[in-house]
Structure 1
Amino acid sequence: MRRAQILLANALSLFRRAGAGIYCGAALLLAGCTAGYHRQAADKEVYGLIRHAEGRVLKRTNEFNIDTRYSGRNPQGILPAELIADRLETNQWTLSVEQALALAIQNSREYQAQKEALYLASLALSREKYKYQPRLLASLGATATRNRDGSKDGEMHAGGGASVSQLLASGGTLGLSLANDFLRYYTGDPRRSAVSSLSVNLVQPLLQGFGRNNSAVESLTQAERNLAYAVRDYSHYQNQFALGIVNDYFQLLAQKDAVRNNYASYLSKVDSTKRLEERAQDREARNGVDQARQSELAAKNSYVNSVANYQTSLDQFKIKLGLPVGQKLLLADQELQELTANGLVPVALDGVEAFKLATQKHLPTLNEIDRFEDSKRRLRIAADRFKPNLTLVADAQLDSQGATDWTRFNADQVRASAGLELDLPLDRKPQRFNYREALIAFERELRSLTLTFDNLRSSIERGLRTLDQRRENFFIQRRALELARQRVESTTLLQQAGRAEVRDVLEAQDALIASQNALTTALVQYQQSRLQLMLDIGALLADKPKFWLQDHLAGFLPAARPQPAPVAVGDQPVLPPEQYFSQ
């Protein structure tokens, strides 16, 4: 009730200061504020709520806004012809990985949609908070009349009113209103009279719907929690989006490397065919030339296909970056060289430890845990509806008549009433339906949460297995590349000495190209698997410089932890299948 007393005192003070000024301000209120002002005011409040939620949920804040290159323009001036012209631009971009990330964050349609989702969640909370702010309304009216017979007697009415209402955290509603009616006779009789009234009313549920069980209070609570979920979702998406850009970038570099290897293979096949043609003198040698020419055509076909695939992937990458497809995009080859020099970053982690960390750090999982708690709260509210609906209703009114100062009232003339309204729980079948639905919803959330945990554990275990698999693939391909080079050298010498067939040389050359491409692919795939695992356990921080090269477990794992077995490096012995089946 202390809040109600403060609200009443503030409202009375406001009404006393208003007086005739309420009429004078009417013209300004009719004009209203510009749409630009309201947009800026909305942004200021929404961004403030987001910063507060980030500090509470993530323990950090980031610069955030949803403005785009079109935000400051008049929507009517943005024409399709301009957008089509943008698509026809032929600018050239040379981007490193970090530059591609920055460009994607600025231009990506998908990224912008996620930012707007966070903004809308904050805007929804702002709307719910608005319901708990004092809401002041004012109205004015004036009429003048004269007699129909043309006599001079006439009258003028001027009236106005103001009200303020407030939702209370207890679930109640407090309202105050002021009304004025000023009457004056003009010409013949200068009489005048004024009537003013001030009324206060309070409606407060005492049993059902009291406090946190009130539907309006619950709406505010859920809006606050929804903003926390949106903050987590957006933060997780930022890391996920950055990882996707990095993966696509290095996948394109791997495709570029394959294109170059395929082109080198084609040139090598062309040279081989020319040498064989120069040496061909009999039918047996001519057969070798045909084999070489067929291999040359196959290499040309592989090269043409690899170029087309690269260009298609590059166009898709442009769209993901938010660039028009017609613009030229060049990627920095040194990024792949730096990744190769960095090597395979080890991940010393077992499945159980990773799962425990993920349940504490993986943001989508934390959201699912909190949504499970939401279902408990909704179940409590549904059970509260079985209580009797007992409501306190109180009101008071002060009137002033005559030629008096209409902003002053005689407290002795107050009229007040208070009472209780009881809705007996004779028919609670609708509440029974709702409660049973809430119970089922709770059970569903419970199953959903356990499925989330199981899927998370499965994802982590699969990620660790994939990481081991791709680590071994890398070392196998590295060894295979060494052997392929030796094989090309030896078969070429043997063929020149007449001790090997042309087919042997061609097969060795094909094996070399395949090994070169496979080694690059294995390196890129290992990085993808490692970073995806870091994302799944909540360790990935995409705001670190060159985060794709960093060891994200450093500083993430608890200091006091048993040291896992060292990560195996190099070729590993092949185990029999029964050993895997028994694990």
Structure 2
Amino acid sequence: MTFHFSSHVFSDTRLLRFILGGIASMFLLAGCTGPQKHLSRADDVAQEIIASKQQQALGRTEPFTIESAEETLRKRLLETQNLQSSHPASLGRGELEPISHWPDLGEDTAQEAAAAPLIAVTDGPIRLTLLEALEIAAASSRDFQDRKENVFQTALVLDLERNTFRNIFSGEAQSGISTDLGGSRTVTGSESSASTSLSRTLKSGAALTTSLALDLVKLLTAERPSSLGILADASISIPLWRGAGRHIVTEPLVQAERDVVYAIWEFERFKRSFAVDTATRYLGVLSQFDQVENAEDNYRRLVSSTRRARRLAEAGRLPEIQVDQARQDELRARNRWVSARQSYASTLDQFKIFLGLPPDAQIELDRDVLQALAEKAQARLRIELEQAPADTGTASYADAPIELRMPDMRFAGPYEMEPQRAVALALEHRLDLRAGQERVYDAQRKVVVAADALGGEFTLLGSARAGERRSLGTAGLDNAQLRPEKGFYSALLSLNLPFERTAERNNFRNSLIALDRQVRSFQEREDQIKLEVHNGLRDLLEFREGLRIQAQAVRVAQRRVESTSLFLQAGRAEIRDLLEAQEALVSARNALTSALLNYRIAELALQRDMGVLQVNEKGLWIEYPVADLNTQDRKDS
């Protein structure tokens, strides 16, 4: 290392003081960097890393922020609907009163906050569509926010690992005065010093360190002598055996780089599962509401039946015991109606909390979704949900042989495909499977690193030093001069033979065990994905057939109620027959709604399990194009 300094330069006290003052000013400037600057820099670095890794992991980039909108939907609901709260934290971090010594975070340095969903909030109930619920969940859900912050923190870990291979500057400055009363005379003096250093670790394993120290000492007694000191040194360490090589030195950095990719894949997988979960909960609330309506309709029917039975009993056409039977069923229907309403209210409150909203917020869900699903089922599966049933046969078929046939693919939905094709899509698109493949490679690298640690240490060390430091004891000496030609230089080869490597040996063996475990984990994940896809296809077939059966059951139940009512009026049936028919109709309607929702949820779940369901940064899904499936079907055929 060469220093370009002239020896006579440092004999000028004013110049040295200027250098000391400049170094001190740099230290002061570095120390005055506000928290808002550091916050802004951390956000910028993390977002830059995430954007780069999104492109690498997903082949695209999308907005990513962990800052919530200033006016969140939760806050607007609490304020507009005048809901109860116990602390400003309920409205968000921005409403907290700053505590003592709170740092100035600034307003224009933090990362841009996410945009809040455009939901009009009034003092009355607001109705949310399914798409709006998906957006709200992505913006307000606590679990969703936690997952985003995990990705962000993983990016910060990578930044710290990258910092290992950057230029690391450090420095300090100090000035003091001291008095020594222990000698024959009192000695008082002042010492001022400043030092700065630069270190750098290269990816080859070499470590470089340079430093420069400046001293100014002055005695304040006797002849008041003073002296200037300057010392520059440099050192280098190069591993030649254990710990040498780019693949060993950069292993923590490589792992941190890959961990960000894994975090993005895991978050993408979570978004898809979260969207399906949101839709499942949304449709579950609607199913509960449909049961309330069915229970209410059944309650009204039974009240009417009880009144009719009372009139027939008064006319002597019906025994009193049948009136009591009708009354008992009416009371049971009332109990089911009240219970259904409370279950609906509880399920709706739980869904609000899932979305990150207060449970006492006045929110309703879009009930037209059920009608839309019914219309889609009619169009896609050719299931008639409202028309009268066709004739199922005549008596001539009574003696015909009974043939049991499994459901075929004539009325299959667009996502019901051959298992081999569905598995192929899953193995191609499942991000968690891809992460499992990469983690096997991670475990292989850990074996390489562990094997390297079994070797001995063989290190080349070098150092150079020029100049001298000054203290009060050497204040009477001449000013120090930086003269490389009179410096001190040394080189050293250090060898530590690998006689004792018990810990390293065990770590090496454990690394192979960890690799085997990772391989088994990957195999299990692959097999589990195949099972999930197969079960998803089975669910679609089962729910499709159940939907067709329940559609027929509703029509049969409706016809049974109508015919039993006519027979009762004609005196050819008892009240119990009508009560049972009405009970069957309620059960059939509830089962039809469940089958309808189950099939739709199964479609989404299968796309999720195949890894083809896309979800954007707003939480909205993009289903796998049905046209692509149909095109592939034509190619296969």
Q: TM-score range by the shorter chain?
A: 0.7 to 0.9
Within-5 A mapping of 1:432-581? 432-543=505-616, 552-554=624-626
Secondary structure at the residue paired with 1:503?
helix
Within-5 A mapping of 1:107-506? 107-145=140-178, 155-185=189-219, 189=223, 191-214=225-248, 217-280=250-313, 281-282=315-316, 284-343=318-377, 344=380, 345-399=413-467, 409-506=482-579
CA contact under 8 A between 1:348 and 1:564: conserved in structure 2? no
Question: Aligned in 2, Cα 1:193/1:543: closer, same or farther, shift over 3 Å?
Answer: closer
Question: How far apart are residue 77 of structure 1 and its match?
Answer: 5.6
Question: How far apart are residue 455 of structure 1 and its match?
Answer: 1.1
Q: Which runs of 5+ in 1 are unaligned?
A: 10-15, 79-88, 566-583
Secondary structure at the residue paired with 2:533?
helix
Within-5 A mapping of 1:5-84? 20-30=21-31, 32-68=32-68, 70-72=92-94, 76=98
CA contact under 8 A between 1:175 and 1:200: conserved in structure 2? yes
| CA–CA separation in structure 1 for the residues paired with 2:238 and 2:265 | 36
CA RMSD of aligned residues (A): 3.1
| CA–CA separation in structure 2 for the residues paired with 1:48 and 1:551 | 29
> CA offsets per residue over residues 476-524 of structure 1, 9 Å max, x none?
1111111112222222112211222222222222222211111111010
| CA–CA separation in structure 2 for the residues paired with 1:278 and 1:224 | 81
Question: Aligned in 2, Cα 1:75/1:538: closer, same or farther, shift over 3 Å?
Answer: farther
CA contact under 8 A between 1:152 and 1:188: conserved in structure 2? no
Question: Aligned in 2, Cα 1:430/1:189: closer, same or farther, shift over 3 Å?
Answer: same
| CA–CA separation in structure 1 for the residues paired with 2:558 and 2:317 | 30
The corresponding residue for 1:581 is none
* Residue-pair matches, total: 539
- Letter in structure 2 aligned against 1:531: L
CA contact under 8 A between 2:414 and 2:629: conserved in structure 1? no
Question: How far apart are residue 540 of structure 1 and its match?
Answer: 0.7
Question: How far apart are residue 122 of structure 1 and its match?
Answer: 1.2
Question: Aligned in 2, Cα 1:204/1:360: closer, same or farther, shift over 3 Å?
Answer: farther
Question: How far apart are residue 556 of structure 1 and its match?
Answer: 6.5
Question: How far apart are residue 51 of structure 1 and its match?
Answer: 1.2
Question: Aligned in 2, Cα 1:203/1:326: closer, same or farther, shift over 3 Å?
Answer: same
Question: How far apart are residue 381 of structure 1 and its match?
Answer: 0.9
| CA–CA separation in structure 1 for the residues paired with 2:630 and 2:247 | 40
- Letter in structure 2 aligned against 1:451: E
- Letter in structure 2 aligned against 1:170: S
Secondary structure at the residue paired with 1:140?
strand
| CA–CA separation in structure 1 for the residues paired with 2:633 and 2:207 | 55
| CA–CA separation in structure 1 for the residues paired with 2:627 and 2:206 | 50
| CA–CA separation in structure 2 for the residues paired with 1:546 and 1:19 | 57
> CA offsets per residue over residues 195-248 of structure 1, 9 Å max, x none?
21111111121121113443x522211111111111111111112112111111
Out of 249-258 and 355-364, give the one that drifted further. 355-364
CA contact under 8 A between 2:607 and 2:623: conserved in structure 1? no
CA contact under 8 A between 2:456 and 2:496: conserved in structure 1? yes
Out of 429-438 and 501-510, give the one that drifted further. 501-510
| CA–CA separation in structure 2 for the residues paired with 1:284 and 1:152 | 126
| CA–CA separation in structure 2 for the residues paired with 1:199 and 1:160 | 14
Secondary structure at the residue paired with 1:471?
helix
Question: How far apart are residue 562 of structure 1 and its match?
Answer: 7.0
The corresponding residue for 1:573 is none
CA contact under 8 A between 1:153 and 1:189: conserved in structure 2? no
The corresponding residue for 2:392 is none
Percent identity over paired residues: 31
Out of 32-41 and 358-367, give the one that drifted further. 32-41
Secondary structure at the residue paired with 1:539?
coil
Question: Aligned in 2, Cα 1:312/1:153: closer, same or farther, shift over 3 Å?
Answer: closer
CA contact under 8 A between 2:614 and 2:623: conserved in structure 1? no
Question: Aligned in 2, Cα 1:562/1:452: closer, same or farther, shift over 3 Å?
Answer: farther
Secondary structure at the residue paired with 1:159?
strand
| CA–CA separation in structure 1 for the residues paired with 2:210 and 2:419 | 62
| CA–CA separation in structure 1 for the residues paired with 2:552 and 2:562 | 16
CA contact under 8 A between 2:271 and 2:619: conserved in structure 1? no
Question: Aligned in 2, Cα 1:154/1:291: closer, same or farther, shift over 3 Å?
Answer: closer
| CA–CA separation in structure 1 for the residues paired with 2:206 and 2:452 | 16
| CA–CA separation in structure 1 for the residues paired with 2:329 and 2:231 | 101
Secondary structure at the residue paired with 2:359?
coil
Q: TM-score of the superposition, structure 1-length normalised? A: 0.85
> CA offsets per residue over residues 385-409 of structure 1, 9 Å max, x none?
2222211211112226887797xx4
Question: Aligned in 2, Cα 1:434/1:207: closer, same or farther, shift over 3 Å?
Answer: same
> CA offsets per residue over residues 82-107 of structure 1, 9 Å max, x none?
xxxxxxx9874321112222222222
| CA–CA separation in structure 1 for the residues paired with 2:611 and 2:572 | 59
Out of 196-205 and 33-42, give the one that drifted further. 33-42
Secondary structure at the residue paired with 2:614?
coil
| CA–CA separation in structure 2 for the residues paired with 1:90 and 1:396 | 76
Question: How far apart are residue 289 of structure 1 and its match?
Answer: 1.6
- Letter in structure 2 aligned against 1:21: G
CA contact under 8 A between 2:194 and 2:214: conserved in structure 1? yes
Question: How far apart are residue 304 of structure 1 and its match?
Answer: 1.5
